[in-house]
């Protein structure tokens, strides 16, 4: 027992102080939202759009590029293909939004970050929020980063947010994966078992748009259109900090 207490004392405080502490420093390899420098973009070359594996980059009629962060895999294919070096990735981990259309941005446009739930649901869930996680055919990347939030380093429970085993005990669903045909019925049954008023959260490119499986005959391009999603968290997979920031914003507990 003494050795255990001594080890715990030497380890010190291991949980991140987010969101109350200093701004997190992301590693150099981290890729936040894509940035397109309009002044250097060769708008007629389309090399970035051709290199994108999910069609996340589209050009409008006036040759202005727009990026769908819900489709983006945050891979370097587009930046590597750009002959002008006009594409880069930022360090901002804040990417979660309330509306699907807010994930589509142009050069210099900031992401419209998620706003809190409406008054009634916020009153119910602000201090105690139980989620049932549904892996709808995911690769386990998003699932792993969601699970990380329950470890001592993040301690999601200190915010009153917990994952539960039964949808009947849940306030909402956190969905990952492209919703494969084998998981379609399972998702529908889980949704039906979740009591209202409920919250639906789509985590990762697969759950938002189908990710790299867009258009595949055995997948359904993410959460079906008939299911109203309250929070979209992009990434492939999203960083744990991106997920946590989105959840706290949804519950009106963000510091900015």
Beta 104-105 vs 129-135: how paired, if at all? unpaired
Q: What are phi and psi of 131, to 5 degrees?
A: -125, 140
Q: Does some domain include residue 21?
A: no
> What is the total count of domains within the chain?
2
What pLDDT does 7 receive? 75
Q: For residue 213, give the nearest of 248, 245, 187, 176 by alpha carbon.
A: 176
187 in the same domain as 139: yes
Q: Does some domain include residue 19?
A: no
150 in the same domain as 45: no
125 in the same domain as 238: yes
73 in the same domain as 156: no
What pLDDT does 198 receive? 96
SS3 content of the chain, % helix, strand, coil (to 5): 30, 15, 55
What pLDDT does 129 receive? 97
167 in the same domain as 55: no
Q: Which of 78, 93, 108 is the last residue of a domain?
A: 93
Q: Does some domain include residue 8?
A: no
> Which tokens in the block code for residue 49?
């759009």
Question: Is the pTM value of this prediction over 0.85?
Answer: yes
Going residue by residue through the chain (256 aa), what tens digit of pLDDT does each one get?
Answer: 878 787 777 776 678 888 888 888 899 899 998 888 888 887 778 888 899 999 999 988 778 889 999 999 999 999 899 888 889 999 999 999 999 999 999 888 899 999 999 999 999 999 999 999 999 999 999 999 999 999 988 999 999 999 999 999 999 999 999 999 999 999 999 999 999 999 999 999 999 999 999 999 999 999 998 999 999 999 999 999 999 999 999 999 987 7
Q: Does some domain include residue 206?
A: yes
- Residue 143 sits in a domain whose CATH number is 3.40.50.12280
Host domain of residue 188: 119-250
Alpha helices in the chain (DSSP H): 2-11, 47-51, 77-81, 119-125, 141-148, 181-193, 205-209, 240-250
173 in the same domain as 74: no
Q: Does some domain include residue 27?
A: no
124 in the same domain as 82: no
51 in the same domain as 129: no
pLDDT tens digits for 56-91? Answer: 999 887 788 899 999 999 999 998 998 888 899 999
231 in the same domain as 129: yes
Q: For residue 240, give the nearest of 214, 209, 203 by alpha carbon.
A: 203
Q: Does some domain include residue 159?
A: yes
196 in the same domain as 135: yes
Q: Does some domain include residue 112?
A: no
- Starting at the edge strand found earlier in the chain, the sheet holding 65-68 runs 57-59, 65-68, 104-105
* Residue in the structure block whose two tokens are 């429970």: 157
- Residue 52 sits in a domain whose CATH number is 3.30.70.20
Across 78-188, the runs of DSSP E, i.e. the strands, are: 87-89, 104-105, 129-135, 161-163, 172-176
244 in the same domain as 154: yes
127 in the same domain as 79: no
Q: Does some domain include residue 240?
A: yes
């Amino acid at each position: 027992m003494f050795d255990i207490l001594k080890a715990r004392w030497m380890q010190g405080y291991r949980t991140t102080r987010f969101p109350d502490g200093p701004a997190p420093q992301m590693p150099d390899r981290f890729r936040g939202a894509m940035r397109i420098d309009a002044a250097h973009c060769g708008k007629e070359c389309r090399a970035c759009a051709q290199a994108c594996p999910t069609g996340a980059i589209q050009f409008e009629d006036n040759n202005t590029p727009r990026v769908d962060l819900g489709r983006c895999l945050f891979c370097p294919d587009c930046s590597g293909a750009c002959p002008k070096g006009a594409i880069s990735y930022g360090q901002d981990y804040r990417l979660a939004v309330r509306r699907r259309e807010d994930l589509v941005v142009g050069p210099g446009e900031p992401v419209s970050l998620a706003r809190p739930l409406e008054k009634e649901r916020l009153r119910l869930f602000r201090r105690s929020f139980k989620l049932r996680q549904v892996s709808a055919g995911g690769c386990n990347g998003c699932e792993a980063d969601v699970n990380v939030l329950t470890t001592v380093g993040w301690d999601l429970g200190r915010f009153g947010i917990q994952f539960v085993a039964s949808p009947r005990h849940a306030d909402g669903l956190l969905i990952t994966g492209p919703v494969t045909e084998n998981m379609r019925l399972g998702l529908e049954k889980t949704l039906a078992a979740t009591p209202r008023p409920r919250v639906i959260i789509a985590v990762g490119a697969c759950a938002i748009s189908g990710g790299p499986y867009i258009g595949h005959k055995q997948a359904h391009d993410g959460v079906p259109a008939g299911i109203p999603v309250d929070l979209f968290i992009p990434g492939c997979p999203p960083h744990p900090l991106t997920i946590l920031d989105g959840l706290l914003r949804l519950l009106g507990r963000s510091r900015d």
